[in-house]
Amino acid sequence: MKDLEREFERMVREHRGTIYTVCYMFSNDQDEVADLFQEVLINLWKSLPSFEGRSNVSSWIYRISLNVCISLNHKKRRHKTVPLTMNINPYEETETNQNSHQMDMLRQRIARLGQFDRAIILLWLENMTYEEIAAIMGITVKNVSVRLYRIKNELKNMSND
């Protein structure tokens, strides 16, 4: 059991940025992102003993992260909640934070995409190859190519309203 725990800790340390990025793309509420992150970790822990290494560890982590975020997003839509808000924006734009503002605008546009397209563009932004994206998403490489072309055009044509 200790070996499994050490392996899990190492895996989380190495891939926590990936997990956080996926969670962040499915919510803009910090508490919800933290909940998604925790749920991904729980699912990774439960799935680790059955991971056979037939795929790359990062691909496996992406797949679990995406599945958790998508399924919890479906549940959230069925059960409407009212978020508690404080009039504090930790991401408030500053003069030195123009790049952050552009990233936030891109994230807002991506958030308006459907979940499947959002997952594909996220993997592409993480510099995954078309083959890796196809393996994670369970579609063909050609389908990845076509979808990315359409997604990029859709993002270009969106307004920031």
Q: pLDDT tens for residues 89-141?
A: 544 544 445 567 777 788 888 888 988 899 999 889 888 899 989 988 889 99
Look at residue 55 in the predicted model and tell me its pLDDT: 80
Does 88 score more than 70 pLDDT? no
pTM above 0.75, yes or no: no
Whole-angstrom Cα distance, residue 112 to residue 122? 13
Rounded to the nearest 5 percent, the helix, strand and coil shares of the chain are: 75, 0, 25
C-alpha to C-alpha distances, 140 to 47, 53, 80, 132, nearest whole angstrom: 25, 21, 35, 10
pLDDT recorded at residue 86: 46
Q: Tell me the per-residue pLDDT of 40-61, one tens digit each, with 9 for 90 and over.
A: 999 999 998 888 878 888 889 9
